[in-house]
Amino acid sequence: MFTKIKNRMKSDEPVKYLFTGDSITHAALHTFGWRDYSEHFSERVRFEMGRVRDFVFKTGISGWTTAEVREDIEWNILQHNPDIVSIMLGMNDCATTREISQADYRDNYNFILDEIEKRNSALVMLHTMNPIWDVAKDLRGRLPEYVEIIREIGKERQLPVVDHYAFWTQKIEQAPDLFNYWMSDSIHPNNFGHIVFAHLLFRELGIFDSASNTCRLFSPGLE
């Protein structure tokens, strides 16, 4: 599934990457001044891999859902004319206070993907979100169902999915204390959690190199 993106990343032509999402991608506050996963990606690609003319844009906005991105898609995504788009949306959509039904979530997500395909023809990769603490499940207990929709959309549209939810779940089942080390609060990853995000993304894209500084960044529970 990642083959087209891998090949594009090897091109002699510069690549424009765009990371959109909500507060997890925005990474305001909860990384406490440390880099987030899109910034680790930028360091890995633009410096360590020597692709200095590649650009990485981050347009994630705290509190946003697929509805806001759909409404603001021209400014948030399309104006940048990206070559590769990374999407991590759903943590707010699944909240009971937002009233984004699963049907609307799916429709919004597909609208965003249709517009990207129609207007920019960019390659797209989807991300599932991280799991949440039990204390947050009163508000976001439907999260696994929205995660599954992302997987279904990826399968239906033949798009690659970076499945953070599955990776985190497996790791936490093996070592429950990792959940405390990787999270800032009940829903937001901290600086260590963003390293976990970045390393899984690197591995899926085939750019993980244990000799690089970015890939050697410490996060509890990572090899």
Q: What pLDDT score does 190 carry?
A: 98
Q: Does residue 155 sit in helix, strand or coil?
A: helix
Q: Does residue 73 sit in helix, strand or coil?
A: helix
Q: What pLDDT score does 151 carry?
A: 98
- For 14, other C-beta atoms within 10 Å of its C-beta total 12
Q: What is the mean pLDDT of residues 95-108?
A: 96
pLDDT tens per residue across span 143-201: 999 999 999 999 999 999 999 999 999 999 999 999 999 999 999 999 999 999 999 99
What are the phi and psi torsion angles at 192 (to 5°)? Answer: -70, -40
What are the phi and psi torsion angles at 10 (to 5°)? Answer: -95, -5
Measured N-to-C along each axis, helices 164-174 and 191-205 cross at an angle, to the nearest 10 degrees, of: 120
Amino acid identity for residue 152 in this structure: E
Q: What is the mean pLDDT of residues 109-137?
A: 96
Residues belonging to the chain: 223
- For 192, other C-beta atoms within 10 Å of its C-beta total 21
CB 195 within 8 Å of CB 184: no
CB 220 within 8 Å of CB 181: yes
The dihedral through the CA atoms of 109, 111, 112, 114 has a sign that is positive
- The answer, as to whether pTM is greater than 0.85, is yes
Residues 6+ apart with CB under 8 A from 148: none
